[in-house]
Amino acid sequence: MIYFFIFVILILLELAYFRIADRFNIIDKPNLRSSHTSIVLRGGGIIFLFGAWLFWAFFGLQYSWFILGLSLIGLVSFIDDIHSLPDSVRLVAQFTAMFLMFYQFDILNWHDWWMVLVALIVCVGIINAYNFMDGINGITGGYSIAVLLPLMYLNSSDGFISQDYLYVVGLSLLVFCFFNFRKKAKCFAGDVGSISIAFILLFAIGKLIIMTGDLSYLTFLAVYGADAVLTICHRIQLHENLGEAHRKHAYQLLANELKMPHVLVSTIYMVLQLAISAGLVFLPVNHYLYMGIIIVALAAAYLVFMKRNYHLHEEYLRSKLQQS
C-alpha cells in the first residue's frame, strides 16, 4: 500500500512540475546538434530527486549523507538546466556530492587516499558520461531500468542495500518513462534527471561492490560506458571541444542518420544491457574475464559501426552548413 501511495505522489509531483516548467518556460529548443525537432519541457527527470526524498522521508531517514549529496548535485544540475552554469561550478558540486556518497559508504581514510581520489574521479566521470548519453526519447529511463533490474535481483538474496530504496527508484523510473518513453515525449530528463539517476544507481552499485569486493559489477553500465568513452576518444581525435553539444554517439547516429525511431534505439540499448548484465549474474564464468570480453566486444562493435556509418553524420553537418 505504501508503494502505491508513493507512486501516486510521484505522478502528482511530476504533473505539478510540468505546470511550473510550462509557466516559467523551462524548455528544450531544438538546434543543429539536437535529435528532436520540436520544443519539449526540460527537467522532467527531477522526479528521481523527488523519489529519493520520498524514500528518505517514508523509510526511516536512511542514507542521509547520500541524500544530502544527491540534493546538492540535483539542485545544481536543475539550476544548470534553467541557466547554464560554468563547468567549474558543476564539477565542484559533483565532487562534493560524490565525497558525501563516499562518506556514506564509510570508505574515507588517509591510508588509501590515492585510491579514494581515483575512485572519486572515475565516479564523477561516470555520472557525466550518463548525462552525455541522454539525447533521445526513452534512453535514460529505459537504460536505467535495465541497470536497476539486476540490482534488484541480486539484492533479493544478498541484501546489500535497502530493497525499499530500489523499489522507490523503480517507481520514479516508471513515472518518468510514462512521459518520456514514447514517440512524442512530454518531457526530457534534463541534467537534473540524468545526473541524479546516475548518482542514485551508482550508489546502489557502489554498495554492491563494497559488500562483494567485485569491481566487475561496473559491467552493469557497460553499454553506456562503451558508447560514451569511445565517442569522447573520437572527439579528442577530431580536436573538438568536449564541452560542446554534438551528435556523434552511436545511438545518435542510429536515431538521426539511420532514421531509427527513438523508442526502438532506446529499447536496443536497454535489452543489450540487460543481456550483458544477465550474463554476468548467471553464467558460470570468471567475472573479470567476462567483463574484459564484453568491453572488447562492445569496442569492436562500436568501431565497425562508426566505420560504416560515420560518413552519414559528416554529410549531415555539411548539408546544415550549406543551408545556413
* 143, 269 Cβ separation under 8 angstroms: yes
Can you tell me the mean pLDDT for 108-119?
Answer: 90
Q: For 191-205, what is each residue's pLDDT tens digit?
A: 999 999 999 999 999
Distance between CA 40 and CA 7 in Å, rounded? 24
Can you tell me the mean pLDDT for 256-269?
Answer: 96
Does the pLDDT value for residue 298 go beyond 90?
yes
What share of residues in the chain are helix, strand, coil (percent, to 5)?
75, 0, 25
- Residue 112: the pLDDT is 85
- Residue 32: the pLDDT is 58
Does the pLDDT value for residue 29 go beyond 80?
no
Does the pLDDT value for residue 317 go beyond 90?
no
Domain boundary assignment for the chain? 2-323
Q: For 57-86, what is each residue's pLDDT tens digit?
A: 999 999 999 999 999 999 999 999 999 999
* 131, 191 Cβ separation under 8 angstroms: yes
**CA atoms within 13 Å, Cβ hemisphere of 226:** 25
pTM for the full model? 0.95
